[in-house]
Amino acid sequence: MKIGVSTSCLYPLETEKSLLSVAKAGVKTTEIFFNANCELDKSFVSELKSIAAAYGVSVLSVHPTMSLAESFMLFSSYQRRYDEGISQYKRYAEIANELGAKYIIMHGGKPNSALDNEGYFCRFAGIAQSVRENGATLLQENVVNFRAGSFAVLEKMKNYLGESAAFCLDIKQCIRGGYSPFDTVKMLKNSVKHIHISDNSADNDCMLPTKGNFDFNGFFELCEKVGYKGDAVIEVYRDAFNEESELYTSYKNLMKSLK
């Protein structure tokens, strides 16, 4: 399993500067979080690709900037917005292909009256099919306060979608949702395709790895046991550290601590 650092850790630093920071720190694996629609332009994506190539960085996944709008765009009852949302996700699939990334990470919709759980799962499957036809795989992330932010809904979604179920598991979101990342891995098994890692303590649910109490060795051993084939990236909020150097020290310390 490769360990990397998401560019989102450095937000609100601009996306290209965040990627350059990760690359210059010697991190060879990343996830790119897009933060504005102008960053979907071909010239901008080419710039990101050049930075990654120059430093030998592998891009695992991309994260759309429309996360907060996905309920409105993709999981409502208005067809035109859905069509526009699908077009944008097709563009992200093209970008993923250009950057060599396998996955697109989706926060998804929030609970609303437009769709029940099964309706949501069907809608997700349709979006995933469109993304797959354009060369990438769509992953549902377990973000708190979104439809798939609870253990119960994740389990229902996995059972409903069967072999086509695909998730990005975020440790801090499990902690915020009040359920165990270990139990979630045991339940989702190999439908987990990508992992966002962070540390935590009794007082803080989002810390740099090796700053809290999380058992990373035990967690990764469990992932391997259930057949996990993917990689993992550190994804914390910017207030989890003061200086950028702390982020990369955490990354290095985690790498040293893993068996």
- The tens digit of pLDDT for each residue in 19-59 reads 999 999 999 999 999 999 999 999 999 999 999 999 999 99
Q: What is the pLDDT of residues 175-234, one digit of tens each?
A: 999 999 999 999 999 999 999 999 999 999 999 999 999 999 999 999 999 999 999 999
- In angstroms, the Cα distances linking 113 to 76, 119, 142, 151 are 9, 11, 20, 21
CB atoms near residue 185 (< 10 Å): 21
Q: What is the mean pLDDT of residues 62-85?
A: 92
Q: What is the pLDDT of residues 134-169, one digit of tens each?
A: 999 999 999 999 999 999 999 999 999 999 999 999
- In angstroms, the Cα distances linking 47 to 54, 129, 234 are 11, 29, 23
Q: What is the pLDDT of residue 68?
A: 79
- Please check whether residue 138 is in contact with residue 128, taking contact to mean a CB–CB distance below 8 angstroms: yes
C-alpha 115: how far from chain center? 24
- Please check whether residue 226 is in contact with residue 190, taking contact to mean a CB–CB distance below 8 angstroms: yes
pTM of the full structure: 0.97
- 222-244 core/surface letters (b: 16 or more CB in 10 A; e: else): bbeeeebebbbbbbbeeebbeeb
Q: What is the pLDDT of residue 91?
A: 96
CB atoms near residue 163 (< 10 Å): 7
3-257: what CATH class? alpha beta
Return the percent helix, strand and coil in the chain, to nearest 5: 55, 15, 30
